[in-house]
Chains A and B, each alone.
Chain A
Amino acid sequence: MREYLLIVIGAVLVNNFVLTRFLGICPFLGVSRKLGTALGMCGAVIFVMTSASAVTWVVQHKVLIPLGLGYLQTIAFILVIASFVQLVDIAMKKSAPKLHGSLGIFLPLITTNCAVLGVSVLNIQLQYSFGKALLFGFSASLGFALALIIFTGLRERIDRAHPPRAFQGVAIALITAGLLSLAFMGFAGLVQP
Chain B
Amino acid sequence: MTSILMTAGTVGGIGLVCGVALALAARFLAVKEDPRIAAVTELLPGANCGGCGYAGCADYARAIVVDGAAINLCAPGGQETLDRLAAYLGQEAEAGEKKVALVLCGGDAGKAPRRYAYNGVADCAAAHAVAGGDKICAYGCLGYGSCARVCPTGAIAIRDGLAVVDPALCISCGACVKACPRNLIQLVPVSQDVHVLCSSNDKGPVVKKACSVGCIGCRLCVKLGGDAFEMDGFLAHRRYHESLDEETGDKAVDKCPGHCIVRRSLRS
Interface residues of A (CB under 8 A from B): 59, 63-64, 67, 69, 72, 75-76, 79-80, 83-84, 86-87, 90-91, 93-95, 97, 105, 156, 160, 162
Cβ of B181: which chain A residues have Cβ within 8 Å of it? Answer: 162
B31 and A76 within 8 A (CB): no
Partner of B14, one of A80, A93, A156: A80
CA distance A94 to B31 in the complex (A): 6
Closest A residue to B128 using CB positions: A162
Comparing B15-23, B63-71, B115-123, B245-253, the segment that makes contact with chain A is: B15-23
Cβ of B11: which chain A residues have Cβ within 8 Å of it? Answer: 72, 75-76, 79
How many residues of chain B have a CB within 8 Å of chain A? 21
CA distance A21 to B6 in the complex (A): 34
Closest-CB distance, B128 to chain A (whole angstroms): 7
Cβ of A93: which chain B residues have Cβ within 8 Å of it? Answer: 29, 31
Closest B residue to A93 using CB positions: B31
CA distance A187 to B15 in the complex (A): 41
Q: A90-B29, A91-B25, A93-B31 are in contact. Are A83 and B18 (CB under 8 A)?
A: yes
CA distance A103 to B145 in the complex (A): 45
Cβ of B29: which chain A residues have Cβ within 8 Å of it? Answer: 90-91, 93-95
Closest-CB distance, B39 to chain A (whole angstroms): 19
Any chain A CB within 8 A of the CB of B130?
Answer: no
Cβ of B182: which chain A residues have Cβ within 8 Å of it? Answer: 162
Closest-CB distance, A151 to chain B (whole angstroms): 17
Closest-CB distance, A61 to chain B (whole angstroms): 14
B10 and A72 within 8 A (CB): yes
A87 and B10 within 8 A (CB): no
Nearest 9 pairs of A and B residues by beta carbon: A83-B18, A94-B29, A90-B25, A90-B29, A93-B31, A87-B25, A69-B10, A94-B31, A83-B22
CA distance A160 to B30 in the complex (A): 43
Cβ of A72: which chain B residues have Cβ within 8 Å of it? Answer: 7, 10-11
CA distance A64 to B29 in the complex (A): 30
Offer 28 A-B interface pairs, CB within 8 angstroms, sorted by A.
A63-B10, A63-B14, A64-B10, A67-B6, A67-B10, A69-B7, A69-B10, A72-B7, A75-B11, A76-B11, A79-B18, A80-B14, A80-B18, A83-B18, A83-B19, A84-B18, A86-B22, A87-B18, A87-B22, A87-B25, A90-B26, A90-B29, A90-B30, A93-B31, A94-B29, A95-B29, A105-B56, A162-B182
B14 and A69 within 8 A (CB): no
Beyond the given A72-B11, A76-B11, A95-B29, please list 16 additional residue pairs across the A-B interface where CB-CB is below 8 A.
A59-B14, A63-B10, A67-B10, A76-B10, A79-B11, A79-B14, A79-B15, A84-B18, A86-B22, A87-B21, A87-B22, A90-B22, A90-B26, A91-B25, A156-B233, A162-B128
CA distance A176 to B245 in the complex (A): 44
Cβ of B128: which chain A residues have Cβ within 8 Å of it? Answer: 162
Any chain A CB within 8 A of the CB of B146?
Answer: no
CA distance A105 to B19 in the complex (A): 22
CA distance A93 to B18 in the complex (A): 18
Any chain A CB within 8 A of the CB of B201?
Answer: yes
CA distance A67 to B19 in the complex (A): 21
Cβ of A64: which chain B residues have Cβ within 8 Å of it? Answer: 10
Residues 28-46 of B at the A interface (beta carbon under 8 Å) = 29-31
CA distance A84 to B22 in the complex (A): 8
Closest-CB distance, B176 to chain A (whole angstroms): 17
B10 and A83 within 8 A (CB): no
Closest-CB distance, B160 to chain A (whole angstroms): 25
Cβ of A63: which chain B residues have Cβ within 8 Å of it? Answer: 10, 14
